């Protein structure tokens, strides 16, 4: 059975690093894995969507509407934007972090701060976490993505894979300790 996961956030939040670590772990565990991301304009503050599929044999690298088992959102309203991807009965893990897009910054549009509460009314499985806040407490908000990785692998029941080894291989050595703590924190969320 193929599992489909969407990671969504804003350019610069580290969604791609998270998905790379996830993919490495899944391959080491013997799964066939495909990942998809769009490069280009998304680097300039736009929405970034990374998709991962794994299973015995994976064909399409991309996930269509209504096909995602799990959406992990690094930013609050991006969870709502990604909602059409979610399959019936699927799960959303979302951070409470708010990053205002340009129309909100300039006052041309409002930011729906109650997005998560409204999401919870519609979707039975919404896990709300404070990954950015936790990462900040640990010393650097940039470790938010690894907190989310912890929460994500817990949701997927993939705790037996040696994620810490892969994190150490992936992140710069001076940030290894921070990220390992971030991962542990995420696993308890």
Partner 1 sequence: MSKLIMSGNEAVARGCYEAGVHFAAAYPGTPSTEILENIGGLYRDEIYSEWSPNEKVAAEAALGASIGGMRAICTFKHVGMNVAADPIFTAGYCGVNGGLVYVTADDPACHSSQNEQDNRLYAPHAKLAMIEPSDSQECKDFLKKAYEISEAFDTPVLFRMTTRVCHSKSVVKLGERQEVPVRKYEKHPEKYSMLPVNARKRHIIREELLGKLEEYSYTSDLNRVEEVNGTDTGVITSGISYQYVKDVFGDSVSVLKMGLTHPLSKKLLTEFASKYEKIIVVEEGEPYLENAVKTLGFTNVTGKDKLTIQGEFNTKVVRDSLLGEQDTFRYKAEGVEVPARPPVLCAGCPHRGFYYALSKQAEKFVSAGDIGCYALAVNPPLNGFDTCICMGAGFSALVGLSRALKAQGDTRKAIGELGDSTFFHSGLTSLIDIVASETNAVAVILDNSITAMTGHQENPGTVRNLMGYESPAIDIVALVKALGIDDDHLRIFDPIDQEAAKEALEAAYQAEGPFVIITKRPCALIKEVQKANAGKHVAIDPDKCVGCRQCMKVACPSLAFDGEKKKAYVADTANCNRCGLCIQQCKFGAIGKAGE
Q: Of 122, 162, 169, 177, which lies in the binding site for partner 1, with binding defined by CB under 8 A?
A: 122
Size of site (CB under 8 A) for partner 1: 59
> Are the beta carbons of 24 and 170 closer than 8 angstroms?
yes
Applying CB under 8 A, the span of 22-30, 127-135, 143-151, 156-164 interacting with partner 1 comes to 22-30
Q: Does 11 bind partner 1 (CB under 8 A)?
A: yes
DSSP per-residue string spanning 95-129: E------HHHHTTSS---TTHHHHHHHH-SEEEEE
Residue 11 neighbours by CB distance under 10 Å: 15
Question: Both tokens of residue 63?
Answer: 């996930």
Q: Of 7, 21, 49, 83, which lies in the binding site for partner 1, with binding defined by CB under 8 A?
A: 83
Cα–Cα distances (Å) from 88 to 30, 70, 115, 123, 146, in that order, read 28, 11, 19, 9, 27
Cα–Cα distances (Å) from 69 to 13, 26, 47, 50, 72, in that order, read 22, 16, 20, 14, 10
Q: Does 73 bind partner 1 (CB under 8 A)?
A: no
Is 3 or 11 the residue whose CB approaches partner 1 more closely?
A: 11
Q: Of 96, 123, 161, 178, which lies in the binding site for partner 1, with binding defined by CB under 8 A?
A: 123
> Are the beta carbons of 56 and 41 closer than 8 angstroms?
no
Is 88 or 160 the residue whose CB approaches partner 1 more closely?
A: 88
**Binding residues for partner 1 restricted to 90-119, rule: CB under 8 A:** 100-107, 109-112, 114-115, 118-119
**Binding residues for partner 1 restricted to 25-64, rule: CB under 8 A:** 27, 32-47, 58-64
Binding site for partner 1 (CB under 8 A): 10-11, 20, 23-24, 27, 32-47, 58-67, 77-78, 80-81, 83-84, 86, 88, 100-107, 109-112, 114-115, 118-119, 121-123
């Amino acid at each position: 059975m193929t599992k489909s996961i969407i990671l969504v956030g804003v350019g610069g939040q580290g969604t791609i690093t998270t998905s790379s670590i996830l993919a490495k772990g899944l391959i080491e565990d013997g799964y066939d894995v495909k990942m998809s991301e769009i490069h280009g304009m998304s680097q300039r503050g736009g929405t970034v969507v990374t998709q991962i599929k794994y299973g015995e044999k994976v064909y399409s690298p991309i996930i269509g509407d209504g096909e995602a088992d799990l959406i992990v959102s690094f930013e609050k309203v991006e969870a709502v934007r990604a909602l059409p991807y979610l399959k019936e009965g699927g799960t959303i893990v979302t951070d409470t972090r708010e990053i205002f897009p340009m129309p909100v910054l300039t006052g041309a549009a409002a930011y729906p701060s109650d997005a998560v509460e409204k999401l919870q009314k519609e979707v039975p499985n919404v896990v709300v976490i404070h990954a950015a806040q936790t990462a900040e407490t640990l010393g650097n908000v940039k470790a938010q993505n690894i907190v989310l990785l912890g929460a994500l692998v817990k949701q997927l029941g993939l705790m037996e894979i040696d994620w810490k080894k892969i994190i150490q291989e992936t992140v710069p050595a001076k940030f290894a300790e921070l990220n390992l703590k971030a991962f542990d924190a995420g696993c308890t969320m």
